[in-house]
Amino acid sequence: MSQAGFLKSDGRAVVVAIDHPLYSWPCAGLEDRAKILRQVTAAGADAVIASYGTIRDLRPAFGKAAPILKLDLTTVTLGSSYPLTEYVPAWTVEDALRLDVQAVLTYVQLGAPFELEALRVAGQVAAACDRHGLAYVCEIMPIECAMFPDAAAPEAIAAASRAGAELGAHVIKTTMPVPAESVGEAVACGVPVILAGGALAKDRAGLLAQVETAVAQGAAGVAFGRNVWGSRDPAGMVASLCGIVHADRRVVVQ
């Protein structure tokens, strides 16, 4: 497996996600896409997960950050609590190529009624990426279900990561396990694992400390959305993440 192009030479990446308006609105802080893109890329973000329309129309604002095209969508009327919902693919690897994008992403919820079809899409997209030389980021997360009563348990996150590796993902995006120290079980799958941020954290320093722990245990970085664009200081948050992810800097509560 060749390394995904958006990973730095240290094999890690700070990714920002701004795809939320297709399933959640309003998104305070994300009204002006060009502005947030310029802020986070200037602050060092390695890649940005975004929709087809955003990548096509705002490419210059990505700067040096690599766009990651999200190929699937769900209902716009999902609501901000993000209940369980079906995701279906709308765009293809061919669309990514036409947009001159080198990485794509789809979303899999393990334990959801839609799991099987999402896994099939994941496997097909992985193969399509290999055909065309793209990188496939598999966002694969357990939800609370019979097999995963605790969706953030170490073994649940490890199961998700290993499944992503078997499916052919080049990079895995999954939930931060609790405790963060346990991420090594997931990292053992052999494919770079980056961690999602989830809802806006009240304790920013605590979140950054978790990232530091996870990176120390082998995680390849983060993919944060609400904790970047929804924070009081998106550029500062990205800079802090870059410091931790790429330089192994210790977090100091500010």
Q: Which of residues 58-77 bind a second copy (CB under 8 A)?
A: 73-77
Binding mask 173-202 for a second copy (x = CB under 8 A): ---------------x-xx-----------
Query: How many of the other CB atoms lie within 10 Å of CB of 117?
Result: 15
Query: What distance in Å separates the CA atoms of residue 96 and residue 157, rounded to the nearest whole number?
Result: 29
Which residues, 6 or more positions from 104, have their beta carbon under 8 angstroms from its beta carbon? 68, 69, 70, 71, 93, 96, 125, 129, 134, 135, 136, 137
Q: How far apart are the first and last CA of the chain?
A: 40
Query: What distance in Å separates the CA atoms of residue 217 and residue 78, rounded to the nearest whole number?
Result: 35
The minimum distance between CB 4 and a second copy, in angstroms, equals: 13
Local structure of 218: helix, strand or coil: coil
# chain residues binding a second copy, by CB under 8 A: 64
The residue within the footprint of a second copy, chosen from 6, 107, 148, 224 (CB under 8 A), is 148
The residue within the footprint of a second copy, chosen from 8, 42, 86, 181 (CB under 8 A), is 86
The minimum distance between CB 155 and a second copy, in angstroms, equals: 6
134 makes contact with a second copy (CB under 8 A) = no
Closer to a second copy at the Cβ: 190 or 206? 190
Query: How many of the other CB atoms lie within 10 Å of CB of 196?
Result: 18
Q: Which stretch binds a second copy (CB under 8 A): 113-121, 202-210, 219-227, 232-240?
A: 113-121
Omega within 30 of 0 (cis) for the link into 179:
yes
Q: Which stretch binds a second copy (CB under 8 A): 49-57, 197-205, 207-215, 243-251?
A: 49-57
Q: Which of residues 193-252 bind a second copy (CB under 8 A)?
A: none
Query: What distance in Å separates the CA atoms of residue 40 and residue 26, rounded to the nearest whole number?
Result: 20
Cβ pair 173, 194 in contact under 8 A:
yes
Q: Residues in the site for a second copy, rule: CB under 8 A?
A: 1, 19, 21-22, 25-26, 31-33, 51-54, 56-57, 73-79, 86, 88-92, 95, 98, 110-111, 115-117, 119-120, 122-124, 126-127, 130-131, 142, 145-148, 155, 158-160, 162-169, 188, 190-191
